[in-house]
Structure 1
Amino acid sequence: MDAIQQLGPVLIALACLCWAIDNNLTRKVSASDALFIAGIKGLIAGTVNCVLALLLGLSLPAVLVVFSTMTLGLIGYGLSLVLFVLALRGLGTARTGAYFSTAPFIGAAISVVLMDEATGGLFWLAACLMAVGVWIHLTEHHEHEHHHESLDHEHGHTHDVHHQHTHNFAWDGQEPHSHRHVHTEVIHKHPHFPDIHHRHTH
């Protein structure tokens, strides 16, 4: 194996590490507006990629190509990133990453059905392992007594067990809604995920 072939797996592993770091950092701000977070991330990534392409001597494509590419990016990346941030808010980093990682298998399944792509034993083994991992996540029951410290923040919410507060403004009763609110300190027990209200140690 030459140096280029050896470098490939290293770069893939580095990209995965960077994605993991990005996910954990994004999780810390996932209570903020998901559309704003996705927009900022997309703007920065797009700018960096365009600058790199221009530095490499590439030129801008035709307007129609740019428009088509941006439309596809909006649907295929922008929308999925907004949903990804919302999932980080409600499910935590590990579960969101696990569910999101099924996307390539869904694309592969479409290719097998529509384009008659060939599959091998390793493909089906990986698909089964992926399915088992998702099934474990979906059937998990996590419940124990835990402590919520006092917290002051803002995000979209309904008046569930963690949002029993009054409003100091006129409220039309619509849920979910978003405003700054305070969580009082509480110790209780119920099934939960590592969402923005359950980031505690065990």
Structure 2
Amino acid sequence: MISLRDYGPPIVALASAALFGMSMPLAKLLLGGGMDPWLLAGLLYLGAGLGLGLLHLVQRARKGAAAEAPLARGDLPWLALVVLAGGVAGPLLLMIGLTSTPASSAALLLNVEGLATMAIAWLVFKENVDRRLLLGALAILAGAVLLSWRGGPSGLGLGALAIVAACVAWGIDNNLTRKLSAADPVQITMIKGLVAGTVNLALALAHGAAAPSLPEVAGAGLVGFLGYGVSLTLFVLALRHLGSARTGAYFSLAPFIGAVLAVCLLGEPLTAQLLVAAVLMGIGLYLHLAERHEHEHVHQAMEHAHRHCHDEHHQHAHGPDDPLGEPHTHVHRHSPMTHRHPHYPDLHHRHRHAR
């Protein structure tokens, strides 16, 4: 089994899911006050982008050895695709789908995002998967589907296809964000939040949404900062260390966390449906945490920049201009190396596997 100290990345992914899950019942409270859903989406994303923008300014003012690597020019095409898929296409397709799809069916269909993220990671980017991980992912997804089930899916049509397309767009977003995960996660999420927030807010106002009150803006901004901004920042960090498929599986626990919070805060009933979902998700979580992936593998020579400590993968020489102390960030080169140890598909272990 991967050692206890390596449970850090799964904990980061679970924290991301927890914050996002907590935002669901809080957003429901805001919607209960009569706020337009499209407008709320814009305010949530803008809260994330603006809040992280302030945090980014603080980080730059306190720039030091432990700072994250900024986005490089070569990252910009990937960032543009990420913003287009996750910040523009996803929200737009979702809103189109919601106009003609029952809420019960829409909630069920939104679970396609986790499936799309994992499928793209396994089939396109060739992340390793074994029977244990596949069963764990299916158990978590089954729990998420059960939580969102409100009877037979009725009225499925073009609206449902639009929601599925939105989930695929977010699955693409999640996998492409993995390409950027060596860079500053605050900067990445800030840009995504500002673009997605602006697009959603503009679309809401164009469709006649009423201007929100100042308390509504403040409430949505705070929920957006924590439930979207901090959550997605942690999601990017998890992508760096776990890869897309595992991070997507952990993130699929968010509906369960939201449902538990709804029971505690909103007085919603504790149902057999929730308890069975808890069992399924618990099984899936155990199967992922108990993962052991170990084999001899080859590290190719590579050069990149990211925040790191001097572990067995970072035994490189330093120049006079490189920062002191750990962790630190600078451009560094990896020499070819062959060894064997338990590992996740992180920045340094994105090798192909024999099938």
TM-score normalised per structure 2: 0.53
Retained in 1: the 8 A contact 2:300–2:336? Answer: yes
Distance 1:56 1:93 in 2: 35
CA apart distance, 1:103: 1.7
Partner amino acid, structure 1, of 2:276? L
Match of 2:342 in 1: 191
Matched position secondary structure for 1:155: strand
Q: CA deviation at 1:65?
A: 2.9
Structure 1 residue 161: Cα displacement: 0.9
Note closer, same or farther for the CA distance 1:16–1:127 as it changes in structure 2 (3 Å cut).
Answer: farther
Q: State the match for 1:6 in structure 2.
A: 156
> Residues of 1 paired with 2:286 and 2:306: CA distance?
29
Alignment length, in residue pairs?
200
The CA RMSD over aligned residues, in Å, is 1.9
Query: How far off is 1:33 after superposition?
Result: 0.8
Letter in 2 for 1:46: G
Please list the CA deviations of residues 126-162 of structure 1 after superposition, one character each: whole Å capped at 9, or x if unmatched. Answer: 2222111111110101000111111111111110111
Higher mean alpha-carbon deviation, 144-153 vs 52-61, is at 52-61
Residue 69 of structure 1 and its aligned partner are, at CA, apart by: 2.1
Match of 1:70 in 2: 221
**Larger of the two Rg values belongs to structure:** 1
State the distance in 2 between where 1:139 and 1:11 align: 36
Moved more, 141-150 or 70-79: 70-79
Give the corresponding residue for 1:157: 308
Gaps of 5+ in 1: none
Aligned to 1:100: 251
Higher strand residue share: 1
Distance 1:131 1:15, change over 3 A: farther
Equivalent-residue separation in structure 2 for 1:105 and 1:114 (angstroms): 14
Per-residue deviation, residues 145-200 of structure 1 (Å, max 9, x unmatched): 11111111111111011100121135664221111111111111111001111111
Deviation of 1:98 (Å):
1.2
1:61 aligns with 2:212: yes
Question: Could you tell me which of 188, 196, 199 is aligned with 1:48?
Answer: 199
Identify which of structures 1 and 2 has the higher relative contact order when contacts are C-alpha pairs closer than 8 Å and 6+ apart.
2
How much has 1:20 moved relative to structure 2?
A: 1.1
* Equivalent position of 1:22 in the other structure: 173
Aligned pairs for 1:121-160 (under 5 A) are 121-160=272-311
User: Whose helix proportion is higher, 1 or 2?
Assistant: 2
Q: Equivalents in 2 of 1:128, 1:13: separation in Å?
A: 27
Structure 2 unaligned blocks of 5 or more: 1-99, 102-154
Measure the CA separation in 1 of the matches of 2:160 and 2:326.
47
Shift of 1:115: 4.0
Deviation at 1:114, TM superposition (A): 4.2
Amino acid in the other structure paired with 1:125: V
Picking from 25, 33, 36, the partner of 2:187 is 36
| Stretch deviating more after TM superposition (161-170 or 122-131) | 122-131
With over 3 angstroms needed to count, the CA separation of the structure-2 counterparts of 1:137 and 1:74, relative to structure 1, is same
Name the amino acid aligned to 2:187: F
